[in-house]
Amino acid sequence: MKDYLVLRVVSKLLISLMILFGLYVQFHGDFGPGGGFQAGVIIAAAIIFYGIIYGLPAARAVVPSGLVEIMIASGVLIYAGVGVAGLLLGGNYLDYFVLDRDPVAGQHRGIFWVEIGVLITVAGVMLKIFYMFAGRGGDNRDDA
Amino acid sequence: MITPHFPILQVVLPLIAAPVMVLARRGTLAWLLAVAVSWAGLYISLALLAQVADGGVISYAIGNWPPPWGIEYRIDRVNAFLLVLVSLIAAVVVVYSRASIGAEVPREQQYLFYAMYALCLAGLLGIAATGDAFNLFVFLEISSLSTYVLIAMGRDRRALMASYQYLIMGTIGATFYVIGVGLLYLMTGTLNMADMAARLQDVTEVRPVLAALAFITVGVCLKLALFPLHVWLPNAYAYAPSAVTAFLAATATKVSVYVLLRFYFSVFGASAVFAALPMGKILLLLSLAAMFIASAIAIFQADLKRLFAYSSVAQIGYITLGISFDSVTGLTAGIVHLFNHALTKGALFMLLGCIALRLGGVRFDNIRGIARVMPVTSFGIVLGGLSLIGVPATVGFVSKWYLVLAALESGQWWIALAIVLSSLLAVIYVWRFVEAAYFREPDPGIVKLKEAPLEMLVPAWLMIAGCIYFGLDASLTVDGASQAAATLLQGIR
């Protein structure tokens, strides 16, 4: 679909805004609706959108399949790592109170990293699903 | 210093290992890590069992949020026993799996296999360790989703269909469970199981609670493959990779039985389930149906894996039969059979995996005369089969002995007769293997085969040895089971 001028221009405008909005949803999740899951889906949607307009190889060039697999695993690891950090600092598993001298700031810090982990894994899984479905049947046509 | 964190480490070690395996991207490395976390898990579970042996309860508050507000991990003698069972099977199967999976799963997928295996283990251990009804659902999903992947990795393309069928049934089961938990949450305002049990006493509107009981019963019975909700099981077991079948047959359904026990005896209370409702009779009827019908179907299978899968459905019937008596002896029988059947079936499926490694499959037409070239494997299957029948000096006998005791204790001698009669059906299907393996002339293709490698035979025979050891000296298992039964029955009546 990259022959369509309108689509190309609009997509370039939108994709950066989508990623920005995803980051807003991520970091505003403390105060309003949102959080890692929604932000991960939005950011993955921006990449998928890019893939639909410019073709699967172009999307794969931006976010390679190997990176997607690393994302899926490392997000879970970050989440679990926050729990282990709580253990190492003398608290229980996933204890955010001990992550900072101020317990409230500790709670903030804990959920911040947990949500980062969620973002990375969710975005990775979404992209993995898209790549697997879009890559089926070996049709690597650019207009797919 | 680390001991107080054992309840969470039990679950989290394999959970952390899984993404590390994906990042490592190497089958051998992933396998080493799987072995490490499985054996560490076995050590932790034994330490936990020792801690609660005096009847105490370990409560662990995740995130330092005190229960009932936060998620509580609650270890008592019931789930400590189950944690040991799951960890033990996992530790043995993981050693076995390297050669078996090496032959059955493409090389580039092996690290993913071990990651899924670690996730499945984390899920099963999480179900057992948690004291939170919703957290249990989350782990149920973790273990189920990873199980679907593990089954789909089978060599046969029908594995995909079997996995899909299990996905549909398993999702219905998990959904029913969560609907039931939702209703309970509606009536009690809590998700902590101990708190829920205390608050249910004051609930006057019983209709939603009854609906919750019905949903949870059906949902969990789907997962534990109680007849007639077992239809997903034979295909899933038959087409999954051999190591997966051994692991699942020995753990997944057993953990679901635990969920049923936990909800019946620790949340709803035995009197609400068994005295006020005909649940005992329903369970009894379905258990008897499982014991006879599934055993009868097993006799006519052409594939040994399917045969023993149907036999699993029948054996689950014995476990639920023990539960249906609602007595200490009955529960002891049910829980000890949980352990004994896990050992027996785990060993049998591992040995079938040995044959599958050499022969590519375990259909009756192919295994003629296999005992001549694989005597150690075949003899192991015979011993495992004897344990399924319930021959004295095997664990199967111990289970059936206590089941018969429980039946006589409840004054229903005809059930004792049914237990013995259904064992005769097991004689028939085990004999079919003996006949094919020992009394048939081997095909020319078979004569060239060799015995399975030691790294597969030793773990499998370890389980067979367990079947004999715990059959001769049942004090350890029966004590553990009777203590667990006593703990369950101490709960609110």
pLDDT value for A143: 40
* Mean pLDDT computed over A58-82: 93
Residue A95, pLDDT > 70, answer yes
pLDDT value for B492: 60
DSSP 8-class letter at B75: E
DSSP 8-class letter at B66: P
| B43 and B94 housed in the same domain | yes
pLDDT value for B38: 94
Residue B145, pLDDT > 70, answer yes
Rounded distance between C-alpha atoms, residue B439 and residue B432, angstroms: 10
Contact list in A for residue B18 (CB cut-off 8 A) is 73, 76
Contact list in B for residue A132 (CB cut-off 8 A) is none
pLDDT value for A16: 93
Assigned token pair, B191: 């998700």
Which A-chain residues 104-143 have CB contacts (< 8 A) with chain B? none
Rounded distance between C-alpha atoms, residue B34 and residue B299, angstroms: 36
| B194 and B249 housed in the same domain | yes
Residue B491, pLDDT > 70, answer no
| B250 and B327 housed in the same domain | no
Residue B183, pLDDT > 90, answer yes
Residue B51, pLDDT > 70, answer yes
Residue B369 located in a structural domain: yes
| B43 and B182 housed in the same domain | yes
Contact criterion met (CB < 8 Å) for B63 and A74: no
Domains of chain A, by residue range, sit at 5-138
pLDDT tens, position by position, B12-43: 999 999 999 999 988 889 999 999 999 999 99
| B116 vs B272, residue with greater confidence | B116
3-state DSSP assignment of residue B192: strand
Residue B147, pLDDT > 90, answer yes
pLDDT value for B298: 92
Residue B143, pLDDT > 80, answer yes
| B65 and B124 housed in the same domain | yes
Enumerate the H helices of B201-327 as residue ranges. 207-224, 232-239, 242-261, 270, 279-289, 295-299, 304-324
pLDDT band at residue B126 using 50, 70 and 90 as cut-offs? very high
Assigned token pair, B29: 């490395």
DSSP 8-class letter at A82: H
CA distance A11 to chain B (A): 33
For chain B, what's the residue count? 493
Q: Which of A83-92, A96-105, B163-172 has the highest mean pLDDT?
A: B163-172
Contact criterion met (CB < 8 Å) for B23 and A77: yes
Indicate the burial class of B328 (C-beta count within 10 angstroms; 0-12, 13-18, 19 or more). middle
**Beta-carbon count within 10 A of B40 CB:** 17
pLDDT value for B132: 93
Contact criterion met (CB < 8 Å) for B64 and A84: no
| B232 and B257 housed in the same domain | yes
With left for phi above 0 and alpha for psi between -120 and 50, is residue A92 left, alpha or beta?
Answer: beta
DSSP letters spanning B400-453? HHHHHHHHHHTT-HHHHHHHHHHHHHHHHHHHHHHHHHHSSPPPHHHHT--PPP
pLDDT band at residue B333 using 50, 70 and 90 as cut-offs? very high
Q: Does B16 touch chain A (CB under 8 A)?
A: yes
Rounded distance between C-alpha atoms, residue B401 and residue B407, angstroms: 10
Q: Does B37 touch chain A (CB under 8 A)?
A: no
Contact criterion met (CB < 8 Å) for A72 and B22: yes
Nearest to B12 among A73, A83, A96 (CB): A83
Closest residue by Cα to residue B248 from B152, B367, B388, B360 = B152
pLDDT value for A141: 45
ipTM score here?
0.88
Rounded distance between C-alpha atoms, residue B47 and residue B59, angstroms: 15
pLDDT value for B474: 85
| B240 and B298 housed in the same domain | no
Q: Using a CB cutoff of 8 Å and minimum separation of 24, what contacts does B204-210 make?
A: B208/B183, B209/B183, B209/B184, B209/B268, B210/B277
| B371 and B434 housed in the same domain | yes
pLDDT value for A139: 47
pTM of the predicted model, to two decimals? 0.93
Task: For B18, name the nearest residue in chain A, comparing CA atoms only.
Answer: A73
Q: A with B: how many residue pairs have Cβ under 8 Å apart?
A: 53
CA distance B9 to chain A (A): 9
pLDDT tens, position by position, B365-420: 888 888 888 889 999 999 999 999 988 889 999 999 999 999 998 888 899 999 99
Share of chain B above pLDDT 70, in %: 99
Contact criterion met (CB < 8 Å) for A77 and B8: no
DSSP 8-class letter at B76: -
Range of the structural domain that residue B95 is part of: 1-268
Task: For A94, name the nearest residue in chain B, comparing CA atoms only.
Answer: B63
* Mean pLDDT computed over B313-323: 93
Look at chain B and report how many structural domains it folds into. Answer: 2
| B151 and B52 housed in the same domain | yes
Share of chain B above pLDDT 90, in %: 64
Contact criterion met (CB < 8 Å) for A94 and B19: no
Residue A1, pLDDT > 80, answer no
- Range name among A127-141, B23-37, B316-330 with the lowest pLDDT average: A127-141
Which A-chain residues 71-90 have CB contacts (< 8 A) with chain B? 72-77, 80-81, 83-84, 86-87
Residue B273 located in a structural domain: no
pLDDT tens, position by position, B233-273: 999 999 999 999 999 999 999 999 999 999 999 898 887 78
